[in-house]
């Protein structure tokens, strides 16, 4: 049997909880210190992970400036957008939805980003804002599952066999892009700030993902499992207000999810926490 990457999504419907920070730094650790071959898939139209790993200058030259130049010159934007799309994760979706060989794997997967030879990137573009509309319209004609498009694309081009790990940075919502990411995953991690606004949304997230898990179990006889909850932006100044969430409420929620069989029985709250601080050297 060929090897297959372990696919992990970082997901939370709320923005600003550190999904991208966790995803790109854990990916870099796996690639640089553990010498694993790793791919980051950026599913967020804001493309923060892409800007971070590919560098802002390269990303803007290749993905942003061409469309700006087309608008300024009055050229046809559609052909420019097509060229951008085919070398991004959006193009992988179109490839499967339109049953074509549209995606350009050679140009779309950026090799050795951030100076790490075993770290690759499949970038996002602003075109992902159209993903829900495009998937809804095209899936009605093809009958394809709206959850299984990303996984089909990864398997079509053998991407799942090219890496040890694939890490997916999800957008801050529970729309089609995020649901495809979780469907394609073996595991998912929930980064969260231990506070009221962030933590009270976790039950909504867990329950909303049940339909993805059920569909994957029906289709593939397996389902993505919660690997754990990761505390982020833990503040020394706010520790007294954050401590009850870290020590009591969130652990209680996780235990309740396990009792209801909503999450994997081995899911944990990670002992490592991400601090909210600025270090000056």
Tens of pLDDT, residue by residue, the chain (281 residues): 458 999 999 999 999 999 999 999 999 999 999 999 999 999 999 999 999 999 999 999 999 999 888 888 877 888 899 999 999 999 999 999 999 999 999 999 999 999 999 999 999 999 999 999 999 998 887 778 899 999 999 999 999 999 999 999 999 999 999 999 999 999 999 999 998 888 889 999 999 999 999 999 999 999 999 999 999 988 876 667 888 889 999 999 999 999 999 999 999 999 998 887 655 44
First and final C-alpha spacing in the chain = 49
Tell me which of 2.60.40.1110, 3.10.129.10, 3.40.50.300, 3.20.20.100 is the CATH number of domain 6-269. Answer: 3.40.50.300
- Count of Cβ atoms closer than 10 Å to residue 188 Cβ: 28
State the pLDDT at residue 281: 43
Q: Which residues of 258-270 are buried (b: 16+ CB within 10 A; e: fewer)?
A: eeeebbbeebebe
Domain boundaries, the chain: 6-269
Question: 228 near 189, Cβ under 8 Å?
Answer: yes
């Amino acid at each position: 049997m060929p090897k297959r990457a372990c696919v992990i999504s970082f997901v939370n419907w709320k923005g600003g909880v550190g999904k991208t920070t966790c995803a790109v730094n854990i990916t870099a650790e796996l690639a640089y210190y553990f010498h694993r071959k790793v791919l980051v898939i950026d599913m967020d139209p804001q493309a923060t992970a892409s800007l971070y790993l590919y560098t802002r200058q390269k990303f803007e030259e290749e993905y942003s400036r061409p469309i700006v130049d087309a608008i300024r010159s009055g050229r046809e934007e559609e052909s420019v957008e097509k060229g951008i799309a085919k070398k991004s994760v959006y193009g992988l979706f179109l490839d499967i939805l339109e049953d074509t060989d549209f995606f350009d794997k050679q140009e779309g997967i950026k090799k050795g980003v951030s100076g790490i030879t075993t770290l690759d990137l499949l970038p996002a573009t602003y075109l992902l804002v159209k993903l829900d509309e495009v998937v809804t319209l095209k899936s009605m004609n093809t009958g394809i599952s709206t959850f299984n498009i990303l996984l089909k694309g990864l398997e079509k081009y053998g991407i799942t066999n090219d890496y040890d790990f694939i890490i997916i940075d999800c957008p801050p919502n529970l729309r089609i892009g995020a649901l495809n990411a979780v469907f394609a995953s073996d595991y998912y991690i929930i980064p969260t700030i231990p506070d009221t606004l962030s933590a009270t949304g976790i039950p909504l997230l867990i329950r909303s993902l049940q339909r993805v898990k059920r569909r994957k179990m029906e289709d593939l006889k397996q389902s993505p499992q919660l690997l754990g909850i990761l505390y982020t932006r833990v503040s020394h100044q706010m520790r007294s207000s954050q401590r009850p969430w870290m020590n009591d409420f969130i652990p209680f929620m996780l235990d309740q999810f396990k009792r209801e069989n909503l999450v994997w029985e081995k899911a944990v709250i990670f002992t490592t926490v991400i601090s909210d601080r600025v270090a000056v050297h």
